[in-house]
Amino acid sequence: MRHPFATALLASLLSCSLAWAQTAGQSDSAKDSPQVTPQVTTQEVSQALPPEPLRRVLQSVVTVQSRSDAQASTSRTLGQRREGSGVVIGPDLVLTIGYLLLEAESVDLIDHQGRRIPGQVRAVDNLTGLGLIRTLISLRLDAVPLGDSDSLPTPGKLWTLGQNETAPTALELVSRKVFAGSWEYLLEAPLMTIPAVNNWSGSGLFDAQGQLVGIGSLLVQDVYGDQVPLPGNLFVPVNLLKDPLPDLVRTGRRTGPATPWLGITSQRLPSGGLAVLRVSPDSPAAQAGIAVGDTLLALQGQTLQDLPDFYRRLRALGPAGSRLTLTVRSKDQSREVELLSTDRATALKRPSGI
């Protein structure tokens, strides 16, 4: 059964669906992976924020340019040079999406006046996917307050602004459905918006008061699930940042045990289990002999249903450093594999500045 709000919008969004169809030939793993390069056309709309929130929003969004070492593991998948957006949330603090900053050697910001401002990576939070940049000189820009992403109505009107844009684009928040990325990433209630826009990497999502409620992360194939095939964008809710923010600013990481990580990129198979698409070098999975083409069948003897099920149960077993058993099928032969999870940050080159 179609979502009633989606059905009402379907006719007006056919052009957006056509734009998505032109990119739908890529593999499922490519659709799920962080994409730094825009893929669809931004839908400019006439609705605007009130004057004062609009002024604050327009001067708060900056361009983020980062460069990583050519030998860094993420340079092979995300590129050595990356560009996206960020939002000023403090006198010398910018919030962005974390994949722009992974293993970064240098970071520069460009504000709405064209000023180039040197920065350093302050934190990359693998749990939320968000990243923080601390500038080396004063920004002299008004910080945008953080709104309440938990109380947003669905459906509801929001606005997004990315680098080099001169006006916000009005979006509709249409769902909070769970998102599980193939790279061991789970968001229980992301902000899913339509129509799809192309300037989403690190862009700001704002409410009617000009408060920041989300940071752009992905172009997604379907904002509703399997009911209505409409493309849109996933924004990471800012409320996920509020509790760990003081620790991230002070030490570069959240306090407490790290989230467990195995180094497996996978996707659900219609026939059951999870197909292994990639294994990170020197990860717990690689050390245990798990390889591309294997199928993950069970965790602790219990059948794996899908990616959210896998990630929730993995985290329920304990923090990084916990021991676990996966049932793995390789070439029609099943075996039990013991692994010791680890902190994903230990597998990445430490960004300059942290």
* Whether 173 contacts 205, CB under 8 Å: no
Alpha-helix residue ranges (DSSP H) falling in the chain? 4-10, 14-21, 28-32, 51-60, 75-78, 239-242, 245-251, 284-287, 307-316
Residues in the chain: 354
In the chain, the amino acid numbered 144 is V
pLDDT tens digits for range 21-34: 333 333 333 333 34
Map out the domains of the chain as residue ranges: 4-10+39-52+145-236, 260-342
Question: Dihedral through CA 222, CA 16, CA 84, CA 138, nearest 10?
Answer: -110
Q: In this predicted structure, what is the pLDDT of residue 170?
A: 95
Integer CA distances (angstroms), 129 to 59, 248, 283, 302, 335, in order: 24, 13, 19, 28, 33
Q: Give the closest residue to 189 by CA, choosing from 225, 237, 224, 221.
A: 237
Q: Report yes or no: 265 and 234 within 8 Å, Cβ to Cβ.
A: no
Does domain 4-10+39-52+145-236 bear CATH number 3.40.50.1580? no
From 206, 198, 1, select the one nearest 89 (Cα to Cα): 206
Query: How much helix, strand and coil, in percent to the nearest 5, is found in the chain?
Result: 20, 35, 45
Q: Which residues of the chain are under the pLDDT cut of 50?
A: 1-46
Residue 196 has what pLDDT?
Answer: 95
What DSSP letter does each residue of 193-240 carry, written as one string?
EES--S--TT-EEE-TTS-EEEEEEEEES-TTSSSS---EEEEEETHH
Chain-centroid distance, C-alpha 262:
19
What is the CA 354 to chain-centroid distance, rounded?
Answer: 20
Class of domain 260-342: mainly beta
This prediction's pTM: 0.84
**Two tokens at 309?**
């099920």
User: What's the sign of the alpha-carbon dihedral 80, 83, 87, 93?
Assistant: positive
Query: What does the block give as tokens for 61?
Result: 């969004």
Report the alpha-carbon distance of residue 324 to residue 315 in Å, rounded: 11
CB 20 within 8 Å of CB 170? no
Show the beta-strand stretches assigned E in 27-155: 61-68, 81-90, 93-97, 104-110, 116-125, 130-135
Q: What is the pLDDT of residue 354?
A: 67
pLDDT of residue 244: 96
- State residue 226's pLDDT score: 64
Coil/strand/helix, residue 100:
helix
